[in-house]
Amino acid sequence: MPITIRRATPADIPLIVDFNSRLAQESEGKTLDIPILTAGVTAAMDDPTKGPYYLAVEGEAILGQMQITFEWSDWRNGWIWWIQGVYVRTEARRSGVFRALYESIWGEARRTGNVIALRLYVDKENLGAQATYRQMGMAPSNYFLYERSPL
Which DSSP string corresponds to 97-112?
HHHHHHHHHHHHHHHH
Res 31: pLDDT: 97
Task: Examine the pLDDT at 1 and tell me if it is beyond 80.
Answer: no
What are the CB-based long-range contacts (under 8 Å, 24+) for 130-138?
A: 132/98, 136/98, 136/99, 136/102
Task: Examine the pLDDT at 128 and tell me if it is beyond 90.
Answer: no
Each residue's pLDDT tens digit, 9-56: 999 999 999 999 999 999 889 999 999 999 999 999 999 899 999 999
Res 124: pLDDT: 86
User: Mean pLDDT across the chain, nearest whole number?
Assistant: 95
Domain ranges of the chain: 4-135
Task: Examine the pLDDT at 62 and tell me if it is beyond 90.
Answer: yes
Task: Examine the pLDDT at 125 and tell me if it is beyond 90.
Answer: no
Report the CATH architecture of 4-135. Answer: 3-Layer(aba) Sandwich (3.40)
Res 27: pLDDT: 86
CA dihedral 74, 72, 84, 134 (to 10 degrees): -40
Q: Percent of the chain at pLDDT above 90?
A: 87
Q: What is the pTM of this model?
A: 0.92
